[in-house]
Structures are given as structure tokens and as C-alpha cells.
């Protein structure tokens, strides 16, 4: 095109103009299919991102609980050290002092039992959060596989439109169907 009002159409411009004004049924169907696949792909991508975020949140909670459990085990160890010192004091003393230190030994044993229960409960939570993280990451992979299949279907649709090969359109449907199956597996947590 020149700036002096003189316009020359290239072959591609003519084909595009003809397609936009004509009634090319094949192109219309592929265009609609591509739009639908793009929308479905966006939904799959959203679900994939959401499950990945869930996996990260669960892993983060597992790390927090692991730190809490470690703190409890350290506290348990400190009580054990105090108990050991009190037991040594029992062995080295007699009379009233021995009785007082023996009471401390018993107190430390009771406190340690409570601390141990709390630490073991926190470790169980760590395992639970790690399992939830693994499950969410598995779902994320399913959604990512579904999205990949849809992206392949969109690419095949473009190639089928450019080559005008109807058989390639069936391959496009197959790829889109595979994406749908993978998404269904993700929905039912398989």
C-alpha cells in the first residue's frame, strides 16, 4: 500500500478478505472449536494453578509444624537433662533433700510425658500436611497434562485450518478429548 491512494492487494490479503466475506463452513467450525478450547484451557490452567498453590500451602504448614515439633523435642530434652540432674542429686543426698529431689524427678517425668505427646501429635500433623501436599501436587500435574493436551488441540486446529485437511480435525478432536479425560481424572482425584 502506498501513501498516495494507490493500493495493491497481495495474494494473502485477497484470501483473507475472501474468507471474511465468504461462508467458509470449515473455517467457521474450526474458529468456534478453537475459541471453546481456549476457554476450556483457561479453566484447566486456573485449576492447575490452584492445586499447585494448595500443594505449596500444605508443604509450608508441614514445615511450620515440623519446627514446632522440633521445639517440643528440644524442650523434652531439656526436661530430660533436668531429670538426670535431679536423679544425680537423689543419689548424692539423703533425708529431706533426697525427698525433694525425688519429687522433682517425678515432676520432670510427668512433664516429659506431656511434652512427648504434644511432639508426637505435631509430627502426625507434619505427615498429614505432607500427604495433602503430595496429593495436591499430583492433581496439579493432572491439570497441567489436561492443559497441554488442549494446547496441542488448539495447535492442531490451526494446522488443520491452514492445510484444509479435515482428517487433521479429527486428530484435533482426539487431542481435545484426551485433555477432557485428563481433566475428569483430576476432578475425581485420580
Domain map (residue ranges) of the chain: 26-187
For residues 85-112, one letter each, b for 16 or more C-beta atoms within 10 angstroms of the residue's C-beta and e for the rest, the string is: ebeebbeeeeeeeeeebeebbeebeeeb
Round to whole Å and give the CA distance between 117 and 94: 33
Q: Which three cell numbers stand for residue 22?
A: 465468504
Lowest mean pLDDT among 85-89, 118-122, 132-136, 162-166: 162-166
> pLDDT tens digit string along 32-58?
999 999 999 999 999 999 999 999 999
CB 135 within 8 A of CB 46: no
Is the predicted pLDDT of residue 86 greater than 70, yes or no? yes
Counting residues of the chain whose pLDDT is more than 90, the rounded percentage is 76
Dihedral angle, C-alpha 104, 109, 110, 115, nearest 10 ° = 120
The three cell numbers of residue 8 are 495493491
Q: What are phi and psi of 86, to 5 degrees?
A: -65, -40
Q: Which residue has the higher pLDDT, 94 or 132?
A: 132
Average pLDDT over residues 118-144: 96
Report the interhelical angle of 96-163 vs 166-187 (nearest 10°).
Answer: 160
Nearest residue to 187 (alpha-carbon basis) of 43, 59, 58, 55: 43
Lowest mean pLDDT among 12-16, 93-97, 123-127, 135-139: 12-16
Mean per-residue pLDDT for 171-189? 95
Read off the pLDDT of each residue in 23-27 and give the average, rounded to a whole number: 81
98-127: per-residue pLDDT in tens?
999 999 999 999 999 999 999 999 999 999
Amino acid at each position: 500500500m502506498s501513501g498516495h491512494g494507490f493500493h495493491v492487494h497481495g495474494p494473502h490479503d485477497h484470501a483473507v478478505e475472501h474468507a471474511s466475506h465468504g461462508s467458509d463452513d470449515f473455517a467457521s467450525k474450526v474458529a468456534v472449536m478453537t475459541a471453546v478450547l481456549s476457554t476450556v484451557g483457561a479453566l484447566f490452567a486456573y485449576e492447575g494453578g490452584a492445586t499447585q498453590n494448595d500443594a505449596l500451602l500444605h508443604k509450608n504448614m508441614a514445615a511450620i509444624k515440623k519446627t514446632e515439633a522440633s521445639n517440643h523435642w528440644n524442650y523434652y530434652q531439656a526436661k530430660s537433662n533436668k531429670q538426670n540432674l535431679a536423679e544425680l542429686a537423689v543419689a548424692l543426698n539423703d533425708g529431706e533433700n533426697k525427698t525433694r529431689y525425688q519429687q522433682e524427678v517425678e515432676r520432670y517425668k510427668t512433664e516429659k510425658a506431656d511434652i512427648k505427646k504434644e511432639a508426637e501429635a505435631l509430627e502426625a500433623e507434619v505427615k498429614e500436611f505432607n500427604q495433602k501436599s503430595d496429593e495436591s501436587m499430583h492433581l496439579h500435574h493432572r491439570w497441567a497434562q489436561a492443559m497441554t493436551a488442549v494446547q496441542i488441540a488448539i495447535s492442531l486446529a490451526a494446522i488443520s485450518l491452514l492445510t484444509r485437511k479435515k482428517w487433521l480435525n479429527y486428530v484435533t478432536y482426539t487431542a481435545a478429548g484426551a485433555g477432557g479425560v485428563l481433566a475428569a481424572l483430576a476432578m475425581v482425584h485420580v
